[in-house]
Structure 1
């Protein structure tokens, strides 16, 4: 398996940059949920149920509504996209996509509805129409005039439960009410992770909803979960490139490290989005020179996902802040469980004075003055890499003021200078060494200092 990481990535036959770019766009669209997948693994019943509702509107002109419910990452959006793609051949129609996280008010939703229905030039007229229902009716009227007839409209409402937080639920009431009329065929497809979504709806909104609920569940087995990635990375065709691409995908999925990480994701939360993101970086790097997925890129994504949140935070700290971390690490090795800035700076200054450190670029690494180092220490405290030695250092007054404990006071309540307040490093020795290994800008002598 090790052989697939490097040179083997350059196979693929005679493939042009345009062909690779087309495959890259297609796969990234699937991985990021912008395009319908080739198949929604294990969700055939859910796709068929949503497709039937949409097809009734697209083909027969009936008003309908349905809400798709399921855990986050279970494939709800993919189910809706697949259903829309399958029902799309039934006739000419429009699709409007809204999100409760984006469209936080009815006004924002109305403007985006107008924009997506190609009636943005008449948005001012919609705004002057009066109520939200009148404004939306105006937009649909403009649409009918532009189409020269009545074209069905499918509204896809992501984060449906958030839209239910709007005042008087005017958006949902208007859409559900229009779905019961014969003027413009409207289909409303809600998507939510809340199983109690029906309890959020007002009585008047609930009375206009069809009460169709389609439940989506996570992958039933690890094999089905792996098939989600296999399907998303599938390239159709019988060309040499397509065959080799599918073979490379199989090789990567069967690699022990990749298979183990997929199993870990499945055991934790079965989140398909987290699974697919592992391959996004590798797909984004596809070129005509290297048209096949590279195992090394996938492994880097796995390593990034596996890293703790704490390590991600400290990954971008400055070299001075890193030096102070190593100084605290040195004090811990010397038996000091608690220390203050004066002790840390003294350790840092003594080490720097004993060594002449030349940076890779040829310049000397200087010893920073105490005020500069204190600012760096405060930055580490703000990142919560360093914390006060006692959790109740500042007491409730400082907590209420929103100030950091290190800068607020001491356990005894005295206003001691912050240079003398005792702190602790919140990184384990192994994490400090891992942090040094991940950085390429660290002088060799600093690395040795951390390893002593």
Structure 2
């Protein structure tokens, strides 16, 4: 009897571990279909498709804030196009990233590698920038629409390529696209709305000026009655549900190392539907959605909650999501303050008091210094610090952009008397002090005092 019981427990433990693995895979790996921005997706799809099928050369910029789905949209379009035989057999895709390819030399070498030209060029891929550029341009320009393979260039963090010297790579890519010597499509992905202004005049003249904007919260679904939050709630249920009998075979093909128990799946999905209808859960998701509409952040939040599943914790509860949300509801500026020294925290508190006492008026180093020294002299537990050290701490705070200079400040004013605007609220300072580990009691009490 005990052996049977042990086998049941081991089976259930294995199911939970497989469930956790499956859900994390589904949450962190976006599914193939792209749910939103239907018009924008269709536009990108037709641009790339016309390059592959008709030999047309195109260029475009996909612009939108971080987390709105720009890269996911591109990946979805490329995945769908890859099902077409002409695309699969002929098209070459070159992915470049501004954070990785920090100059044109690195971008050029990786372009040659991704275009699989090493065998033709031999060791020239390790040659000079001029040689590599000349070779690549000859490869692109030597063909024609009928005989050249179409090349799709995806430039993520496009604005960073604009900082490269002379924008040589961008110039040549746009020049080839404009002259239509070989079929290429250049898609830039960026969050900079002013990206066109970053292009040099000669580069701008060769760009098509085709800009496609993605706006967060614009779900653009077929059903106009669905609100943005309803869509988020539906995503919550879909990502956390296990496949039913109809979809299990399809899912197991996609996640070949994750098997799902059918009977367990039914019970699990009933629990998830209960969570979706829970008032506390709905309010939590609404608060998070009001903070950020980013689907990437939402998926990260779900992944943290799912990670709590174990042999001892075999179901997801509302409290699991409440605890997970704490990691994503913290203010970035408050988190930044936690990394400061005690001296810098004291200066932040002094700035808070200065701002409160003088009703938001600009402050300078001298006023902050005097307020801190007064506090230090009144508390024997606070170690005295020399003025140059305090000045260095003040400069560090300024470099973190917690302080911004007042625009009408005269350049001839000594730096001790230059005026700054304090950007933190009293609540942010209080939160930082509460969460700061090992902060002296005197400093905590000083934060609470209004006129010190």
SS at match of 1:157: strand
> Cα 1:166–1:374, aligned 2, differ >3 Å: closer, same or farther?
closer
SS at match of 2:109: helix
Asked if structure 2 preserves the Cα contact closer than 8 Å seen for 1:95 and 1:156, the reply is yes
What are the residue-to-residue correspondences of 1:408-423 with 2, within 5 Å? none
Match of 1:125 in 2: 124
What are the residue-to-residue correspondences of 1:73-222 with 2, within 5 Å? 73=66, 74-91=68-85, 92=88, 93-99=91-97, 103=101, 105-119=103-117, 124-126=123-125, 127=127, 130=131, 132-138=133-139, 152-160=150-158, 163=161, 166-167=167-168, 169-173=170-174, 175-176=176-177, 180-181=181-182, 186-191=184-189, 194=193, 197=196, 216-220=214-218
Measure how far apart 1:86 and its partner are: 1.0
Measure how far apart 1:50 and its partner are: 2.7
2:438 to 435, 438, 441: 441
Asked if structure 1 preserves the Cα contact closer than 8 Å seen for 2:98 and 2:160, the reply is yes
> Cα 1:155–1:424, aligned 2, differ >3 Å: closer, same or farther?
closer
More off after superposition, 17-26 vs 192-201: 192-201
**Under a length normalisation based on structure 1, what TM-score does the superposition of the two structures give?**
0.62
Is 1:283–2:303 an aligned residue pair?
yes
SS at match of 2:82: helix
C-alpha distance in 1 between matches for 2:353 and 2:215: 50
Match of 2:250 in 1: none
In the alignment, structure 1 segments of 5+ residues that lack a partner are: 1-11, 31-36, 142-148, 266-271, 354-366, 400-404, 412-422
C-alpha distance in 1 between matches for 2:388 and 2:327: 35
SS at match of 1:40: coil
Measure how far apart 1:95 and its partner are: 2.1
Asked if structure 2 preserves the Cα contact closer than 8 Å seen for 1:69 and 1:213, the reply is yes
C-alpha distance in 2 between matches for 1:393 and 1:201: 31
Match of 2:28 in 1: 28
C-alpha distance in 2 between matches for 1:160 and 1:333: 42
> Cα 1:380–1:440, aligned 2, differ >3 Å: closer, same or farther?
same
Asked if structure 1 preserves the Cα contact closer than 8 Å seen for 2:288 and 2:329, the reply is no
Asked if structure 2 preserves the Cα contact closer than 8 Å seen for 1:99 and 1:160, the reply is yes
Measure how far apart 1:387 and its partner are: 10
SS at match of 1:95: strand
Match of 2:397 in 1: 383
C-alpha distance in 2 between matches for 1:316 and 1:203: 45
Asked if structure 1 preserves the Cα contact closer than 8 Å seen for 2:92 and 2:151, the reply is yes
Aligned pair count reads 380
C-alpha distance in 1 between matches for 2:202 and 2:29: 39
C-alpha distance in 2 between matches for 1:213 and 1:28: 29
> Cα 1:433–1:170, aligned 2, differ >3 Å: closer, same or farther?
closer
> Cα 1:115–1:217, aligned 2, differ >3 Å: closer, same or farther?
same
Is 1:295–2:321 an aligned residue pair?
yes
Is 1:234–2:239 an aligned residue pair?
yes
Measure how far apart 1:229 and its partner are: 7.6
Is 1:256–2:272 an aligned residue pair?
no
SS at match of 1:440: coil
Measure how far apart 1:302 and its partner are: 4.2
Match of 1:62 in 2: 55
SS at match of 1:303: coil
C-alpha distance in 2 between matches for 1:106 and 1:352: 58
Deviations 1:48-84 (Å, cap 9, x if unpaired)? 33334434555x4734425254433443332222111
C-alpha distance in 1 between matches for 2:185 and 2:355: 64
Measure how far apart 1:217 and its partner are: 4.7
Match of 2:228 in 1: 224
Measure how far apart 1:110 and its partner are: 1.2
Measure how far apart 1:85 and its partner are: 1.1
SS at match of 2:96: strand
Deviations 1:250-277 (Å, cap 9, x if unpaired)? 7599532431342354xxxxxx54x532
SS at match of 1:166: helix
SS at match of 2:379: helix
C-alpha distance in 2 between matches for 1:198 and 1:329: 38
Alpha-carbon RMSD across the aligned residues, in angstroms, is 5.2
Asked if structure 2 preserves the Cα contact closer than 8 Å seen for 1:132 and 1:170, the reply is no
Deviations 1:105-138 (Å, cap 9, x if unpaired)? 4433211212334556857424468473532555
C-alpha distance in 2 between matches for 1:82 and 1:160: 19
Asked if structure 2 preserves the Cα contact closer than 8 Å seen for 1:111 and 1:123, the reply is no
Match of 1:44 in 2: 38
In the alignment, structure 2 segments of 5+ residues that lack a partner are: 1-11, 220-225, 245-261
Match of 1:360 in 2: none
C-alpha distance in 1 between matches for 2:122 and 2:140: 8
C-alpha distance in 2 between matches for 1:213 and 1:410: 42
Match of 1:319 in 2: 342
